Amino acid sequence: MTRLHRRTTLSLLAAGTASLAGCSETADETAGPDDSDGSDDQDSTPGSDEPIDGGDLPPYASLLRETDRSSYFYGAIAFDTRIQRDDPEGGEQPTDPLLVNPVAFAQLSSFGLVQLADSPAVDAFNAHGETTDASAFVYVDGVYAITGAYERDEFTDALEAAGYDPETTAAAYAVYVDGESGEAVGVADAAFAYSYPSEDDAFDAAAAVEGTVATAAGEREPAYETDDDFARLLRAGDAEGISLGLYTPDEEFTAEDLGEDQTDADTDDLSFEFEGVEGAAGIHQQLSIRDDGATASAVVSYRDDDRVDVDRLESSFGTDADDVDAVRGGTSVEIEATYDDTVLEEE
């Protein structure tokens, strides 16, 4: 099976957080890949017509703004575990999407944090963001965000001193733009967000950042409040460790939808693997690393009974796991996999 070496595991986000004063020694349980030797020990559990029980919404749900895109990509990593700052080691990439997608999201997160470290906004973030209270790094459709507690007035004064121009100043949030780079920065009492111009002409960085901080401030409805299916997907998934998801308000993901590389070209190497959910309308994944191994899960939702494809999911997910179960509940399928302590073998 694929082994995720602990030195690599603990250092993916360290590369991104090293230059941020408040977050330099905190990150969540992230995963990094290395050697692979396959495992075929898989179990399938019969399902039922009853829906999968839902729990609470994840704490980052209040940042998930509405968009008009045909697919919606999000993820979060909590800042709650001390890490060592070793340089990531190279190695063979995993092929199991239950590992590939969280690792790819950790790489995307690290890239976003490195961008912030190189930005003039980092001084404002370090000086005026109460970063010791930072709770999670969140990504939602082109916008990076760090939840926490922020003094907005002091923060915006620092942004203006750094040369940022005010784009929007509302009672509960503010958005500023760097005229040279086009970087957009927004702050609300509980969230700091930022984004950059894109080659996609339809993407407006400032508008996307405003949507995120306005949603975090309660000035706009989050996406789950206007889409019950999306809310059910969020409630069914696990928010611990690394969590991420892909959702479409359309009837289903097509092969063309899922064939596009979801990662930024600058993150290099590992891209997301969502091909196994063709025909579904949403997937929420989670990965947690422990001293004695790792656990991973996914909830895949479909629009109706006829589209549910358990066989496809079983052949696509958990391929490197020691043990994997797939359980159907109504029009959703829950996949749970475990990886033994060799997944964290020391290098």
Q: Is residue 257 situated within a structural domain?
A: yes
Residues 176 and 166: beta-carbon distance below 8 Å: yes
Task: Determine whether 199 is exposed, middle or buried from the number of CB atoms within 10 Å of its CB (0-12, 13-18, 19+).
Answer: exposed
pTM for the model stands at 0.82
Residue 133: per-residue pLDDT: 61
Q: Is residue 44 situated within a structural domain?
A: yes
Q: Is residue 315 situated within a structural domain?
A: yes
Q: Is residue 115 situated within a structural domain?
A: yes
Residue 213: per-residue pLDDT: 97
pLDDT at 216 over 60: yes
Q: Is residue 238 situated within a structural domain?
A: yes
Domain count, the chain: 1
Give me the domain span that covers residue 336. 6-344
pLDDT at 228 over 90: yes
Q: Is residue 298 situated within a structural domain?
A: yes
Q: Is residue 1 situated within a structural domain?
A: no
CA angle 269, 299, 290 (to 5 degrees): 65
pLDDT tens readout for residues 167-211: 999 999 999 999 999 999 999 999 999 999 988 888 999 999 999
